């Protein structure tokens, strides 16, 4: 299986419209990426801010029963893993990946074992430079209406650890970029966007040491009821999100 990054195409490596030279202009990119204000751009249902490097999109709460195990944080509403995800979105996974690329997030495969020359998986994790690791990390925040009050919190406060009996600690999520196989973008095919249990086909993954336990996580009791509209915002990682 080829792990060729989707960003290797000239389409995804294009700059934001106002940063392109005549030689760099890609008609397809210009048609897709719309400038909203001096620092805000729109790609389908995805909004990106080139100054703050934030990416946001509309979503809804999906699985909210505290007794139900979840393995995914965010999937497309037509995705394969909707039955295991806390949140769903209509945002196109390809558009989300383009936003990461345009804001200079770097792919890190540190959570996954490296492949040998013959294509088989080794017992060693992929070695990634520290600057790449830093540029791959981000936090996830959710904004919603509680009655007439708008609230914003780190999404980790909606994820409960069944073993520790505490919410997920403030831990970075890591952008790994999914992959292309036979000219098809896996995250687009599966709808997997951000996952808790490791999945190299998702766009990003949870980095906590307990990520490999697929029976550990559930929605917190304070998660709004199923179907609640929320805005999901991805921000460059800070020690205290």
pLDDT tens per residue across span 167-207: 999 999 999 999 998 889 999 999 999 999 999 999 999 99
Residue 168 DSSP code: P
pLDDT greater than 80 at residue 227? yes
Identify the residue whose tokens are 């505290």.
66
Backbone angles phi, psi at 69, to 5 degrees: -80, 135
Cα gap 136→81, rounded to integer Å: 24
Q: For residue 117, what are the CA distances in angstroms to 25, 27, 108, 110? A: 37, 38, 19, 18
Q: What's the pLDDT score for residue 193? A: 98
Residue 5 pLDDT grade (very low, low, confident, very high; cuts 50, 70, 90): very low
Q: What's the pLDDT score for residue 145? A: 97
Tens of pLDDT, residues 103-134: 999 999 999 877 777 766 777 878 889 999 99
Q: What's the pLDDT score for residue 10? A: 35
Cα gap 53→42, rounded to integer Å: 13
Q: Mean of the pLDDT values across residues 213-222?
A: 94
> Within a 10 A sphere around the Cβ of 135, how many other Cβ atoms?
17
> Does residue 166 or residue 213 have the better pLDDT?
166
Q: What's the pLDDT score for residue 21? A: 45
Its pTM stands at: 0.86
**Ranges of H-type helices in 4-50:** 27-32
Residue 15 pLDDT grade (very low, low, confident, very high; cuts 50, 70, 90): low
Residue 16 pLDDT grade (very low, low, confident, very high; cuts 50, 70, 90): low
Residue 17 pLDDT grade (very low, low, confident, very high; cuts 50, 70, 90): low
Sequence spans of domains, the chain: 6-236
Residue 4 pLDDT grade (very low, low, confident, very high; cuts 50, 70, 90): very low
The token pair that represents 185 in the structure block: 């973008």
Cα gap 95→41, rounded to integer Å: 12
On average, the pLDDT of the chain sits at 87
DSSP 3-state assignment of 173? strand
């Amino acid at each position: 299986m080829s792990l060729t990054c989707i960003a290797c195409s000239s389409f995804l490596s294009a700059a934001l419209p106002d940063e392109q030279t005549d030689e760099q202009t890609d008609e397809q990119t210009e048609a897709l990426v719309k400038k909203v204000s001096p620092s805000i751009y729109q790609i389908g249902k995805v909004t990106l801010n080139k100054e703050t490097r934030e990416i946001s999109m509309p979503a809804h709460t999906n699985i909210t029963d505290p007794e139900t195990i979840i393995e995914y944080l965010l999937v497309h509403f037509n995705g394969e893993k909707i039955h295991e995800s806390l949140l769903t979105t209509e945002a196109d996974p390809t558009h989300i990946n383009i936003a990461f690329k345009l804001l200079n997030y770097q792919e890190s495969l540190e959570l996954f074992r490296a492949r040998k020359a013959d294509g088989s998986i080794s017992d060693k994790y992929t070695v990634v430079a520290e600057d790449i690791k830093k540029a791959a990390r981000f936090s996830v925040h959710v904004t919603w209406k509680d009655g007439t009050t708008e609230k914003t919190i780190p999404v980790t406060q909606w994820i409960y650890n069944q073993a520790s009996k505490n919410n997920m600690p403030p831990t970075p999520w890591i952008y790994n970029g999914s992959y292309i196989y036979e000219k098809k973008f896996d995250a687009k095919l599966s709808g997997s966007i951000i996952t808790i249990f490791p999945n190299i086909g998702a766009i990003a993954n949870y980095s906590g040491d307990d990520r490999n336990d697929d029976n550990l996580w559930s929605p917190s009791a304070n998660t709004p009821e199923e179907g609640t509209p929320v805005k999901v915002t991805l921000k460059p990682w800070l020690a205290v999100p």
